[in-house]
Amino acid sequence: MNAARTDRYAVIGNPVEHSKSPWIHARFAEQTGEPVEYGRILGTVGAFEKDVRAFIESGGRGMNVTVPFKLDAHVLADSLTPRAAAAGAVNTLAFGADGVRGDNTDGIGIVRDIEQNLGVKLEGARILLLGAGGAARGVVLPVFERKPAALTIVNRTAAKADQLVERFAEAASACGVRFSGGGAGRVEALAYDVIINATAGSLDAALPDCDAAAFGPATLAYDMMYSPKPTVFMQHAQALGARAADGLGMLVEQAAESFFVWRGVRPDGGAVLRELRTVLSAKA
């Protein structure tokens, strides 16, 4: 790779040393032959914009944004993609002549992981989304675009789920998706095709409220969180006879979408995911 023409990108977060993004993007660069150098930046809480501007001035072309700066990035962006505006948060920044453009690739990352890596079609599916926070907001539009039969959002605080239903009602209608939400009582006592856990419960080993009847042998129970061992949500789903998956594939596929946003070249996320799982298994 010719260092003289290498374009610089980075992930910014606090903490950030644990991020797998540099490893993932290095694999993408090798795979595609794109002249990309990708690093980590420990962001300063309260001085996010200063850190981003400094990276731009040093020649940076784009950034991935992780905790706790996704809302800061949303405010900083001069323009937003529709999916970033819908999510209310930004995880991808692109720097160009027209300023700072904010995008959110999390939702398309989970859709691609479910369909391409896990082999589950979302078209015509009955989908249950657990949680109504930022992670859930980012999933709604990309899921609608796959034209499922129905999407139900449930949240411990029913009013938050109701707000999301109201916010995305027009988009649901345009895509022909039956869309509803509320408290845990809105879960139908009939197995769903896909259940997505968009709550932060797995961080604290807490299960989201969900009727056991929602899980069946043909259900994919997908936890947006990743940990070296199956999360409590995954264990719960498996005990009820469902197939369970973690969010590692989402991490890789959202990175692949960011790479595409920056370079116009789409890497093979599945190949990198398989390699990453092998690497992590060897460390376990």
Which residue numbers belong to the known binding site for NADP(+)?
Answer: 131-135, 155-160, 224, 247
Among 70, 121, 147, 229, which one carries the catalytic annotation?
70
Annotated catalytic residue 70: yes
Output the CA–CA distances (angstroms, integers) from residue 248 to 27, 79, 222, 245, in the order listed: 15, 29, 10, 9
Of the CA atoms within 13 Å of residue 195, those in its CB half-sphere come to: 31
Beta-strand runs (E) in the chain: 7-13, 36-42, 60-65, 79-80, 92-96, 99-103, 126-130, 150-154, 178-182, 194-197, 220-223, 243-245
CA angle 135, 71, 115 (to 5 degrees): 30
Q: Which residues are annotated as a binding site?
A: 19-21, 66, 91, 106, 131-135, 155-160, 224, 226, 247, 254
Residue 262: what are its φ and ψ, rounded to 5°?
-80, -40
Torsion of CA 181, 155, 92, 72, to 10 degrees: 120
The residues annotated as belonging to the active site are: 70
